[in-house]
């Protein structure tokens, strides 16, 4: 059987159970070797997240510890400047070879902005795109990506498992209505985010005094 991996990019500020449940269900759905979480680099002149790159990385590490098949990949953070998704795709393809099935997982909220991403129309030459539903976000009829979606959509996870790139799969997972924005807001207002994020991440946030 060919190798198959997926990755999920994001700010992960902080990582929460919506990210983790999505990653786990995708791994099971596609019988993947691994799902990598890839935190992005934040440029210094832009609005800073509530935690720095090393802290975001450490929280993901703590969150996936002990879960075989979920891992953190620091390639974007290791670069001295922010990279585009296309650079990450090129680098993953180079690392994993031409035959490996690579899927980029994104929530519907991210997918709706896809056509504004740098060289987005080359993504499917390097990977599959797997869009997961997110409560509150729907693609509407007449959306400018509708024709593009029709052209590349596949219905079965098997198409993704058996080819290296080129397919778009929209999939409904267990809806988990959690956002990092909400977690930051709870902490800022002295409320507990417990059960929305892993306990070890909440412990780390308290020890480091993050998001206050
Ligand atoms: P913020 O609230 O700060 O915007 P976020 O919770 O959306 O953060 P990100 O790190 O921006 O988290 O998300 C990374 C990726 O995970 C994106 O593709 C996003 O759509 C997806 N994602 C985030 N939360 C969920 C969720 N609850 N269910 C499904 N996908 C999610």
Mean pLDDT of 12-29: 97
Nearest CA to ligand 1 atom 19: 107
Of all residues in the chain, the percent with pLDDT exceeding 70 is 96
Decide whether any atom of ligand 1 lies within 6 Å of the 110 Cβ: yes
Mean pLDDT of 56-75: 96
Encode 97-132: b = buried (16+ Cβ within 10 Å), e = exposed.
Answer: eeebbbbbbbbbebbbebeeeeebeebbebbbbbbb
Residue 138 has pLDDT above 80, yes or no: no
Residue 78 has pLDDT above 60, yes or no: yes
Higher pLDDT, 34 or 81: 34
pLDDT, position 94: 98
Within 8 A by CB and 6+ apart from 190, the residues are none
Q: pTM for this one?
A: 0.94
Domain boundaries, the chain: 4-177
The Å distance, Cα 203 to ligand 1 centre, comes to 21
The answer to whether residues 177 and 136 touch, using CB atoms and an 8 Å cutoff, is yes
Of all residues in the chain, the percent with pLDDT exceeding 90 is 82
Within 8 A by CB and 6+ apart from 211, the residues are 14, 50, 51, 183, 184, 187, 188, 205
* Domain 4-177 CATH (choose: 3.30.70.270, 3.40.50.620, 3.40.250.10, 3.40.50.300): 3.40.50.620
pLDDT, position 29: 95
Per-residue pLDDT tens over the stretch 94-122: 999 999 999 999 999 999 999 999 999 99
Instruction: Return the minimum-mean-pLDDT range out of 32-36, 69-73, 83-87.
Output: 83-87
The answer to whether residues 127 and 103 touch, using CB atoms and an 8 Å cutoff, is yes
What confidence category does residue 136 fall into, taking pLDDT thresholds of 50, 70 and 90?
confident
The answer to whether residues 31 and 72 touch, using CB atoms and an 8 Å cutoff, is no
What is the separation of C-alpha 203 from the centre of its chain, rounded to a whole number of angstroms?
23
pLDDT, position 144: 83
The Å distance, Cα 1 to ligand 1 centre, comes to 31
Per-residue pLDDT tens over the stretch 146-173: 889 999 999 999 999 999 999 999 999 9
Decide whether any atom of ligand 1 lies within 6 Å of the 50 Cβ: no
Residue 46 has pLDDT above 60, yes or no: no
pLDDT, position 182: 97
How far is it, in rounded angstroms, from Cα 59 to Cα 115? 30
């Amino acid at each position: 059987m060919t190798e198959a991996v997926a990755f999920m990019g994001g700010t992960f500020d902080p990582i929460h159970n919506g990210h983790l449940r999505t990653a786990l269900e995708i791994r099971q759905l596609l019988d993947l070797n691994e799902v990598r979480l890839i935190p992005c680099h934040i440029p210094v002149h832009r609005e800073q997240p509530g935690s720095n790159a090393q802290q975001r990385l450490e929280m993901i590490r703590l969150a996936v510890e002990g879960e075989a098949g979920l891992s953190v990949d620091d390639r974007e953070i290791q670069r001295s400047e922010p990279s585009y998704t296309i650079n990450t795709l090129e680098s993953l393809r180079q690392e994993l070879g031409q035959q490996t099935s690579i899927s980029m997982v994104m929530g519907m909220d991210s997918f709706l902005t896809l056509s504004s991403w740098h060289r987005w129309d080359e993504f499917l030459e390097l990977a599959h795109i797997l869009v997961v539903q997110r409560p509150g976000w729907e693609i509407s009829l007449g959306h400018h990506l509708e024709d593009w979606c029709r052209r590349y959509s596949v219905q079965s996870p098997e198409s993704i498992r058996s080819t290296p790139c080129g397919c778009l799969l929209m999939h409904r997972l267990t809806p988990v209505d959690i956002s990092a924005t909400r977690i930051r807001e709870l902490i800022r207002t002295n409320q507990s985010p417990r059960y929305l994020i892993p306990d070890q991440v909440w412990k780390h946030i308290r020890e480091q005094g993050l998001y206050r």
